[in-house]
Amino acid sequence: MTDELLNHPGALTGDVRPTASYTLRVNGVERPVSDAWIGESLLYVLRERLGLAGAKDGCEQGECGACSVQVDGQLVNGCLVPAALAADSEINTVEGLSGSGGASDVQQALADSGAVQCGYCTPGLAMAVHDLLQRNHRPSEIEARQALCGNLCRCTGYRGALAAVQTVAEAREAALEAELDAAEQAAATVEPVVPAQATEQSFADLALAGELPLYADSELWHEADQLIPPQAQAQAQAQPPRPVEPAWSGTPAHGTAVPVGWEPTPAHGTAADAAVYGTPAHGTPYLPTPPHGTPHQDPGVYEGTPPHGTPQQDPGVYEGTPPHGTPQQDAGGYDGTVYATDGYGHQYTGYDATPAHGIRLPEDENA
């Protein structure tokens, strides 16, 4: 006999069978098992070591189903499963069917349907019905018979158990439908809340994307106009009036300083000033391009291209191409002085006309 066997707890009594200590997790509770022979069945350990006598010992050879329990969600005969092998598994017994201590709906239905006489098979049957309805919420009678065929009842028969299966299935289905109806009604009574900010932002997005009509006579435009945030309208109205540039009066005389009138495109929503260049604000009535030569509404402005040589209304300005040799009004001649620069970077300088043919220029004296 080796030292290992001599040190075994059962050595003095002559019991040298191998033992093991492990923990079973039964109905969600950790249950330690110490020095148990590794051949002990789950049914034996549950009943004799852990005091859980719900599972019954009928045949101890997997024939009657009285010892039915679930191991990791699978219905098994506890008498055929070595307990040590279930150490890392989740075990559910008939004691765990009802969390509140009362009878579960399955147990109550078995009692109500008269499926219990001596009751010895009942814990196993309850586990079998519970397992069936977990996998199949609406089993047919054939499916129910197949599920219960491993549980033997010698005094009551199976009519009550099959009735209990249908009763529980129908009750659970009705409860689920009622729950769904209640959730549907609750959802229907809650009105969706659309923040005003979201509507205004949607309008702004559409406007920026160019998807809103810009015609003054469009009904859609008027509808969209209502959606302009009041804050944006107030800002647009509060902006100071734009300076009115002098009306265009033809090409100024050479050497005349040109006012730089370039204006950037106004922001969207800015009230349009008819005399200022730039994209008009949304909602500004669209005016088509007038036919060529049509006088502009603004008097004194451009009135069509005049015939060649026609003096401009503005006296002192360009009056047609002078004859060769005619000195320009602007005495002093070209001196390279920059008189003005427009918004595009073009520079304007004084010009003194081409001198008459044959006139010697000052620089020619040095030639």
Cα-based angle 201, 207, 209 (whole degrees, multiple of 5): 105
Number of shown-chain residues binding ligand FES (CB under 6 A): 23
Contact flag: residue 138 with ligand FES (CB under 6 A): no
Site for ligand FES in 322-341 (CB under 6 A): none
Does 82 engage in binding with ligand FES (CB under 6 A)? no
- Listed ranges 60-68, 181-189, 258-266, 300-308: which one lies at the site for ligand FES (CB under 6 A): 60-68
76 vs 212, beta carbon nearer ligand FES? 76
Sign of CA dihedral 144, 147, 149, 153: negative
State the Cα–Cα distance between residues 164 and 103, nearest whole angstrom.
14
Q: Does 57 bind ligand FES (CB under 6 A)?
A: yes
Using CB under 6 A as the binding rule, whether residue 91 contacts ligand FES is answered as no
* Stretch touching ligand FES by CB under 6 A, among 112-120, 193-201, 207-215, 310-318: 112-120
**Measured from the CB atom, is 119 or 278 closer to ligand FES?**
119
Q: Which of 108, 117, 256, 329 binds ligand FES (CB under 6 A)?
A: 117
Tell the smallest beta-carbon distance from residue 83 to ligand FES (Å): 14
Cα separation, 342 vs 321, in Å, equals 24
Identify the helix (H) or strand (E) that includes residue 42. helix 42-44
Which residue in the set 24, 42, 79, 126 belongs to the binding site for ligand FES (CB under 6 A)? 79
Please give the Cα distance from 168 to 151 (Å, whole number): 19
- Cβ nearer to ligand FES, comparing 10 with 82: 82
| Dist CA 153 CA 156 (whole Å) | 6
Given a contact cutoff of 8 angstroms between Cβ atoms, the answer to whether 288 and 318 are in contact is no
Among 63, 88, 170, 223, binds ligand FES (CB under 6 A): 63
Nearest to 22 by CA among 31, 33, 30: 33
Least gap, CB of 116 to ligand FES (angstroms): 6
| Shortest CB 61 distance to ligand FES, Å | 6
Q: Could you tell me how far CA 11 lies from the centroid of its own chain?
A: 69
Q: Which residues of 272-301 are buried (b: 16+ CB within 10 A; e: fewer)?
A: bbeebeeebbbbeeeeeeeeeeeeeeeeee
Q: Nearest distance from residue 55's CB to ligand FES, in Å?
A: 8
- Cα–Cα distance measured from residue 204 to residue 268, given in angstroms and rounded to the nearest whole number: 10
Site string for ligand FES, 147-186 (x = CB under 6 A): ------xxxx------------------------------
Q: Which residue ranges make up the site for ligand FES (CB under 6 A)?
A: 57-60, 62-67, 77, 79, 116-122, 153-156
